[in-house]
Structure 1
Amino acid sequence: MSEVKQMPVVEVGADEIPVHCPNPKMPLWSTHPRVYIDVSHGEAACAYCGTRYRLKPGTVLKGH
């Protein structure tokens, strides 16, 4: 049975909205077209690379 690799989780705060992937901390070799990630429901994944983005605990989004 093959092992499923877990993609990294990036926690973001309200000051980092809107969230986009690839994010600035990703290495240049792993870039793909920029996509915006809707984390307003708590967590979402990038359709290109699978990186998961999650709101930091206690983060309150205003106007979303």
Structure 2
Amino acid sequence: MSQTNTTHPVIELLAADLPAHCPNQNMQSWSSHPRVFIDVSHGEASCPYCGTTYRLKAGEVVKGH
């Protein structure tokens, strides 16, 4: 997982990192909020609590069942 500093952080994920959830393991515990799962199956989604954007790295493919 890599992180880019912007107003709202952007987290790039590998398919192996799924399912994505926020807060993620790199966030400080003091700024924690309830865990929510983020659906990045369409490429990108944001956390409804903190605005962190999660997206798949270029070329990554999510395999469904």
Normalized against structure 2, the TM-score is what? Answer: 0.87
Matched residues in 2 for 1:6 and 1:58: separation?
25
CA distance in 2, matches of 1:53, 1:63: 18
Structure 1 or 2: more strand by fraction: 2
Residue 14 of structure 2 corresponds to 13
Unpaired runs of 5+ in structure 1? none
- Relative to the length of structure 1, the TM-score reads 0.88
CA–CA separation in structure 1 for the residues paired with 2:41 and 2:62: 7
Q: Which runs of 4+ in 1 moved over 3 A?
A: none
* Count of residues in Structure 1 that have an aligned counterpart in Structure 2: 60
| Bigger radius of gyration among the two | 1
Q: Percent identity?
A: 63
1:7-54 deviations in Å (ceiling 9; x for gaps) = 010000100110000000001111000000000000000000000001
Indicate the RMSD between aligned Cα atoms, in angstroms.
1.3
Runs of 5+ unmatched residues, structure 2: 1-5
